[in-house]
Amino acid sequence: MNAGKPSDPAISPGQDAQLGQDPSATPADRESSGRGQEVDHRAAALQDLQTINTAGPSRWSRIGAGLLGILLSPSVLLLASFITLRTLVVEARFIPSGSMLPALQLQDRLLVDKLSYRFRLPERGEIVVFHSPHRFSPMGYGVPEPFWGQCALVSFPGLARVFHHPKCDAYIKRVVALSGERVVVDPLGQVWINGKRLREPYVDHNCDDMEHLCHTLSAQVPPGHVLVLGDNRPNSQDGRFWGFLPTDQVIGRAWLRFWPPETSGPLPPAYGPPGQGLASQRPDAKPLATTRP
């Protein structure tokens, strides 16, 4: 035995243990082992990626199922039905002023039919609800636009005063002249169509006080427009002041009064039930007076 002769290994056993390699392995074996470990790492990475891809759709599916459950909840469906019905079919309105006296009283509650005018134009004598003239007439010049969604918020109970904007208002008046007609409104508030007096049985308030004569108008109704006036001629901000109403600004036809209960029901036609001969809606109806505007 050469007990005193020191050993001279190329790599000490301690180094082999730290590197996790077999000290008796050849360089070829070690290279093969390294390649194997690299393959194992790649396989593990691919497995992790597959696991992520597999779990991803499942997670989004759960989120989608949760959102679908919320959208199909009774409260959301009820709200969506209300918005759809109000937008396309019918909506409730109340009368804030006396411009349509005596046919409509202050604080009357009405249902507005929004379907009829999708298939036809407004007719003479009908009471229509329309967007504020601040949207389409010179009286709106210089008035800033409402922010997106403001007019929708105004329509909800309790929010009208908070989000009020003049361009979000709605007006209610009666159609008296149609497209292409020559119309004159005289100082007494009487309407003349193509030179003949229009009979208006719904008007009880004329401008008969010579000190408070009505605002006058004389013009031809342009295409795609109508003239609307309030039944209470001395106290109505209507087409005599801001011009003709574009038919595309009409929201709908005032159809039914549901409050107060004692006067509830469909609004009567301007000229009474057909066949009673109260008057004609035609502009060539028999004049009621011999005076001319």
For residue 59, the 8-state DSSP code is: H
Residue 123: φ, ψ to 5°: -110, 160
Q: Where are the domains of the chain?
A: 26-69, 91-132+169-266
| Whole-number Å distance between alpha carbons of 146 and 181 | 34
- What confidence score (pLDDT) does residue 72 get? 64
Q: How confident is residue 283, by pLDDT bands cut at 50, 70 and 90?
A: very low
Positive or negative, the CA dihedral 6, 7, 10, 14 is negative
Average pLDDT, the chain: 78
Quote the pLDDT of residue 2.
Answer: 46
pLDDT digits (tens, 9 = 90+) for 200-210: 999 998 888 77
> Of 282 and 161, which is predicted with more confidence?
161
Where is pLDDT greater, at 177 or 51?
177
Q: Which class for 33: exposed (0-12), middle (13-18), buried (19 or more C-beta within 10 A)?
A: middle
> Which of the residue ranges 68-72, 76-80, 154-158 would you say has the lowest mean pLDDT?
76-80
- Segment among 9-23, 59-73, 249-263 with least mean pLDDT: 9-23
Per-residue pLDDT, 150: 87
16 compared with 170, residue with greater pLDDT: 170
Q: Which tens digit of pLDDT belongs to each residue from 219-248?
A: 999 999 999 999 999 999 999 999 999 999
pLDDT value of residue 111? 93
To the nearest whole percent, how much of the chain has pLDDT over 70? Answer: 62
Grouping H, G, I as helix, E, B as strand and the rest as coil, residue 272 is coil
User: Looking at residue 149, what is its pLDDT?
Assistant: 84
**Tens of pLDDT, residues 122-153:** 999 999 999 999 999 999 999 999 988 888 88
Whole-angstrom distance, CA of residue 275 vs CA of residue 288: 20
Which pLDDT belongs to residue 36? Answer: 52
**Residue-level pLDDT at 160:** 78
Positions marked active-site: 99, 173
Indicate if the pLDDT at residue 15 is higher than 80. no
Asked if residue 32 has pLDDT above 60, the reply is no
Please check whether the domain covering 91-132+169-266 is classified as CATH 2.10.109.10.
Answer: yes
